[in-house]
Amino acid sequence: MSVLIVGSIALDTVKTPVEEHADLLGGSASYAALGASFFSPVKLVGVVGDDFPASEFEFWQSRDIDAAGVQRAAGKTFRWSGEYAWDMNTRQTKSVALNVFEHFRPELPSSYRTSDFVLLANIAPALQLHVLDQIEKPRFVIADTMDLWIETARGDLDTLLPRLDLLILNDSEAREMTTETSLIKAGRRIMAAGPRHVAIKKGEHGALLFGNNEFFSCGAYPLEDIHDPTGAGDTFAGGMAGYLAAQGGVPDFAQFRRAMIYGSVVASFNVEAFSLERLRTLTKEEIDERYQLFRAMSQFEVVV
């Protein structure tokens, strides 16, 4: 089953303590779509400017990412530039130029409107709602969000929450949203606001998943070297969405658990190189191998 993904498509300039690269493919939808494509066909929704490389459209086509929903507008593509501190954890945004993204108000192609699985990657909640409203009978809806929307668009976000089967956010965002320091309490508070499941990402410390009287906790895949953390959260969301969509029906909690691990695995590959470079050559076999390793290093038995 294919998954519809809407979000930003950007050209990024990223600086780490070791390297700097300009004009790299970025944006929440680019990362999420490629992350999902290892599991399911993708219908991509976004906007690019006339400076956007045609080669990316060819790449998407080669990965079964349908770009019929990607608008080509006159002007420049959304540009973001950021710099990571020495610990590779704290990031400073150096510049943002919305460009063609400023007036992005997508109208879905008719072939997209019957989508069952939807991932609203990280963009303004009003845009997420605008896209969701155009889908006839969405069966499973995931949204990712960020601190900016919690701070500036809380009303739209609160409207969106009850329509979600899964909300994904990180630990500091969950704390900010609920003013709870305990992530367990924060997860339950967000659940009470409407989404059927909540995934809280904790970076190098893994992730937590809350469901209706169900709970799952996993570590992160241990990495010695991180080259570019950009897009880790987006590829996590994409990997989860792609895996869940590939299962067919409404997923059970065991499928959710596996989706969390697949999301973590795809994200762990993503940060091994700049931009989407690692994911461009990644294979499903490599993903499955790391999934097995992940399992081997986090399982323990009950012995009476």
Residue 182 interacts with its own copies (CB under 8 A): yes or no? yes
Residue 223 interacts with its own copies (CB under 8 A): yes or no? yes
The residue (of 130 and 258) whose beta carbon lies closer to its own copies is 258
Which range touches its own copies (CB under 8 A), out of 115-123, 144-152, 256-264, 271-279?
256-264
Q: Are 97 and 78 in contact (CB under 8 A)?
A: yes
Q: Which 3-state string (H, E, C) describes 145-163? A: CCHHHHHHCHHHHHHHHHH
CA-to-CA distance for 107 and 73, rounded, in angstroms?
Answer: 13
User: Distances from the Cα of 66 to the Cαs of 21, 40, 56, 71, 156, in angstroms?
Assistant: 27, 11, 12, 12, 28
Q: How many CB atoms lie within 10 A of CB 282?
A: 22
CA-to-CA distance for 55 and 258, rounded, in angstroms?
Answer: 33
CB of 168 to its own copies, least distance (A): 18
Among 86, 136, 212, 213, binds its own copies (CB under 8 A): 86
Among 168, 208, 241, 276, binds its own copies (CB under 8 A): 208
Q: Tokens 């990607």 map to which residue?
A: 70
Among 38, 216, 236, 269, binds its own copies (CB under 8 A): 216
CB of 34 to its own copies, least distance (A): 23
The residue (of 58 and 214) whose beta carbon lies closer to its own copies is 214
Measured in degrees and rounded to the nearest 5, phi and psi for residue 275 equal 50, -140
CB of 271 to its own copies, least distance (A): 12
Residues within the interface to its own copies (CB under 8 A)? 86-88, 181-185, 188, 202, 204-206, 208, 215-220, 222-226, 254, 257-258, 260-261, 291-292, 295, 297-303
